[in-house]
Amino acid sequence: MNATRSVDLEAPPHLEAPPHLEAPPHRPALPINRDRLWDSLMELATIGATPKGGVCRLALTDLDKIARDRFRLWSETAGCRITIDRMGNIFARRRGQDDSLPPVMTGSHLDTQPTGGRFDGNYGVMAGLEVIRALNDLKVETLRPIEVVVWTNEEGSRFAPAMIASGVFAGVFSLDYGLNAKDGDGKTLGAELQRIGYAGETEVGGRPVAAFFEAHIEQGPILEAEGNTIGVVQGVQGIRWYDVTVTGQDAHAGPTPMPGRRDALLGAAQMITAVNRIGLDHPPHGRATVGKLNVAPNSTNVIPGKVEFMVDLRHPDAAVLARMHETLALEFARIARDSGLTLDLKQIWYSPPVTFDPACVAAVKAAAERFDLSSQVMVSGAGHDAVYLSRVAPTAMVFVPCKDGISHNEIEDAEPDDLAAGCAVLYAAMLERANAPGPAG
């Protein structure tokens, strides 16, 4: 904290508090405008609106361009300077008192799933814009500049992989790799950026960022179930994926006696039960799922000779995730041996757990306390742009509840009050980091 600067969250004494600053009787005033945030989100949701109340706005389509243009217009109206990098990431920058210092950054994505909702990604961008609008309203200057970023193609539903542009920014992927990603029709990300006029000239990444915050709907049911408004996200789960093939012997369901059968599906069923047990044995964060299964020959009167399935294991602690992995390998081998089956177990993907920056996490927690909002520390079960940013900048996330924990669905929903609360937490956490003393300023 820097006590010498006028960075109070309260309105300066010479200003009348606007109506939106009047707090409900039981809670401190929020520095942001709840209705303006909601209205901007709803206006954005008209771009690509679906009949069921969701949004279909795939990356770098004409609709994505319209949403990007809208963000630019709003940001410029709020006094920001826009730059666009070669991956089409858009940065809206509000000057700092020392504009040579690295910025405190926030943002998310405007692309959606084909049957996406109104809040995933869009909330993080609009919350960032509302932070800037609120800083303007309150005439607050910050030591460091503030930037709101729109990351290109977060969802990965048009161009794989997901989070490709924040990945290039963080040096995880090369620019070449990013620009050459192809959609289902063979069109490249780079060509589509050109087509919609968002192939910028700024180099991607390679510049210091003082802190990165991402506000996002939780996309899970925990906050709602616990009755809390703010998720203080301290990290992201590690993930291991496996391809499994179990081979036995096809045989006729009638003449083949029960003893001595080599039923691959029966073995796979025991393995799936073991997977579920591994998840249950590592509460509260362990996750263990089989979501895909192929049975051969898949015929009513044939004992299955071959089963292929995939396993998804998750835990925020790399050591625990490694133990879950060992248990899985041992249990699968034992089941295969006892059932006379051949096992082929391959780990095909490992995404290590992410631990966010303690100072940024503390800033989020303190902000929730400041506004008297109920909060809980949690880990994210899903990937976000913040995961890649955490490799190059001190990072944290703010979660708000979404209805029934449902996301990547047109019925995705969230409460205006919760969205405003998360935005206020983002505001205070960013302000704290934007004025904090430190090696970066």
For Zn ion, give the closer residue by CB, 221 or 441: 221
Residues contacting residue 269 through CB under 8 Å, at least 6 positions apart: none
Residue number, 217 or 421, with CB nearest to Zn ion: 217
Quick one: DSSP state of residue 155?
S
Q: Which is nearer to Zn ion, 64 or 120 (CB)?
A: 120
CA 24 to chain centre: 31
| Cβ neighbours for 197, distance < 8 A, ≥ 6 positions apart | 65
CA nearest neighbour of 118 among 218, 43, 223? 43
Least spacing, CB of residue 133 vs Zn ion, in Å: 22
DSSP string, 29-44: PPSS-HHHHHHHHHHH
Asked if 54 interacts with Zn ion (CB under 5 A), we say no
Stretch in the footprint of Zn ion (CB under 5 A) among 20-28, 80-88, 118-126, 292-300: 118-126
CB of 155 to Zn ion, least distance (A): 7
Q: Which is nearer to Zn ion, 119 or 371 (CB)?
A: 119
Distance of CA 255 to the CA centre of its chain: 53
Could you tell me the smallest distance in angstroms from the CB atom of residue 407 to Zn ion?
8
Consecutive H or E run containing 251: strand 251-252
Q: Does residue 121 belong to the site contacting Zn ion (CB under 5 A)?
A: yes
120 forms part of the interface with Zn ion (CB under 5 A): yes
Least distance between Zn ion and beta carbon 405 (Å) = 14
Specify the residue, 295 or 411, whose C-beta has the smaller distance to Zn ion: 411
Token reading at 120: 């995933």
SS3 133: helix
Output the smallest distance, CB 121 to Zn ion, in A: 4
Of 88 and 121, which has the nearer Cβ to Zn ion? Answer: 121
* Residue listed under structure tokens 């408004």: 229
Binding mask 63-102 for Zn ion (x = CB under 5 A): ----------------------------------------
Residues in a beta bridge with 13: none
Amino acid residing at 63? L
CA 132 to chain centre: 22
- 220 touching Zn ion, by CB under 5 A: no
Q: C-beta of 51: minimal distance to Zn ion in Å?
A: 22
Residues of the shown chain interacting with Zn ion in the complex, contacts defined by CB under 5 A: 120-121
